[in-house]
Amino acid sequence: MNYTENLPWVILLLPLCAAVFITLFTLRDGKFSSGVSIAAAVLAFIFSATLFAIQLGVQMPETMTDYKLEWLKLGEVKITIAPWMDQLSSLMTVLVTFVGGAIQIYSRRYMHGDAGMGRYFAGLSFFTFAMLGVVMSSNLVMLFIFWELVGVSSYMLIGFWHHKPAAADAGKKAFIVNRLGDFGFLLGILAIWGLAGTTDIYELKNLLSKKPEALGTLGGIVGLLIFCGAMGKSAQFPLHVWLPDAMEGPTPVSALIHAATMVAAGVFMLCRLFFLYQVNPAWPAALSFLNGITPLDIIAWIGGITALLSAVAAIQQNDIKRILAYSTLSQLGYMVMAVGLQGPAPAMFHLCTHAFFKALLFLAAGSIILALHHEQDIWRMGG
């Protein structure tokens, strides 16, 4: 057995082990908790970078693990949980662990003295675990489970200062709006399961390449239902309303959510499942007026509208974090529009570059806010 075959499990479970350890043993010791969380993040990044470097030079199997956890068995259908590590997921794993680890190192100083510092780092580690699960998912059920865990952990982090009514309300708003999109996502997964008989992403891709009509007249609807999940997570119009209010959480949380994790999940998912949109879409008779229009056309228009409206909204803001929030919305719109224009590779390229510059912008904003005694109004900052 090659040691690299089980590295994905190690990468995935390191942040979870850190979160559990902090919760059980060091919750009241913020400094030690931060050390545990940062150590897990740094190790996960080292292993991720190693795996990515290996994959660049060697063709690896699609699912790189000797151990598959059989989660559910319904008749002949088996649903397993096993990491899928191709170059796309390896790239995202490196991105998530690097940016996440850098933000955790920054947070050690930023959250110094906060009474909930241990809880904060436990939340960051769990959030990283959930996001790694999303990018490593080998089937749609595993993807949906970790998709929901990202939503739950974001609720905890956005509402971290729950004694502030605005923060508590922002956490609830993010949770509820995302559930609206996730309901459509779940319906899409169930439709695929019923029509194709599998939830395995690799098997589904092969099936549609050999039998493009496998989804029948529901192909177009399935594509749009899957996109509903991306609309929620990546805050596309009209499910964009939660993201600006998410600024009520600590600034490093804003950097994490806006850079390489939560909002990137929707774009990543569209790129991962892009093969669903490459088959000739069919619409049921009741939607015959959509003949000649593809789901990608609708996705491109929604991305373009989001990019334009968010850019206009950004220049009307006074709060430095809300300016960056609307900037994120606009950039996500460009990524989604790129996918809709049949450019998943440019979308992923922009996702990677955006992760770095947006994380740096938020961390710089956090330093300014601390230096000015928590002043966030740009017109009162002087200079």
Q: Which amino acid is at 134?
A: V
Of 166, 168, 138, whose CA–CA distance to 155 is shortest? 168
Rounded Cα distance, 369 and 320, in Å: 9
Domain extents in the chain: 1-138, 164-382
136 with 8: CB under 8 angstroms? yes
Looking at every residue in the chain, the average pLDDT score rounds to: 87
pLDDT above 60: residue 63: no
Burial of 213 (0-12, 13-18, 19+ CB in 10 A): exposed
212 with 220: CB under 8 angstroms? no
* pLDDT for residue 215: 83
Burial of 341 (0-12, 13-18, 19+ CB in 10 A): middle
Question: What's the average model confidence in pLDDT over 318-325?
Answer: 89
Question: What's the average model confidence in pLDDT over 218-235?
Answer: 90
Structure tokens at 194: 């019923």
Classify each residue of 133-165 as buried b or exposed e, where b means 16 or more C-beta atoms within 10 Å of its C-beta.
Answer: bbbbbbbbbbbbbbbbbbbebbbbbbbbbeeee
pLDDT above 60: residue 64: no
Q: Map tokens 């993807």 to a residue.
A: 143
CA angle 327, 330, 331 (to 5 degrees): 90
* pLDDT for residue 1: 45
Tell how far CA 92 is from the center of its chain: 10
Q: Which amino acid is at 245?
A: D
The alpha carbons of the chain give a radius of gyration, in whole angstroms, of 21
Question: What's the average model confidence in pLDDT over 307-311?
Answer: 94
pLDDT above 80: residue 58: no
Dump pLDDT digits (tens) for 130-152.
Answer: 999 999 998 899 999 999 999 89
Identify the residue with better confidence: 214 or 42: 42
* pLDDT for residue 147: 94
The least confident of 4-8, 18-22, 77-81, 339-343 is 77-81
* pLDDT for residue 230: 92
Residues whose CB falls within 8 Å of the CB of residue 301, separated by 6 or more in sequence, listed in order: 340
Rounded Cα distance, 140 and 66, in Å: 20
Structure tokens at 227: 């996109």
Rounded Cα distance, 257 and 259, in Å: 6
255 with 362: CB under 8 angstroms? yes
Concatenated DSSP letters of 320-336: HHHHHHHHHHHHHHHHH
Concatenated DSSP letters of 261-287: SHHHHHHHHHHHTGGGGTS-----GGG
Q: Give, in order, the Cα–Cα distances in Å from 22 to each of 6, 59, 122, 130, 259.
A: 25, 38, 6, 16, 25
Specify the length of the chain in residues: 383
Residue 292: helix, strand or coil by DSSP?
coil
Burial of 289 (0-12, 13-18, 19+ CB in 10 A): exposed
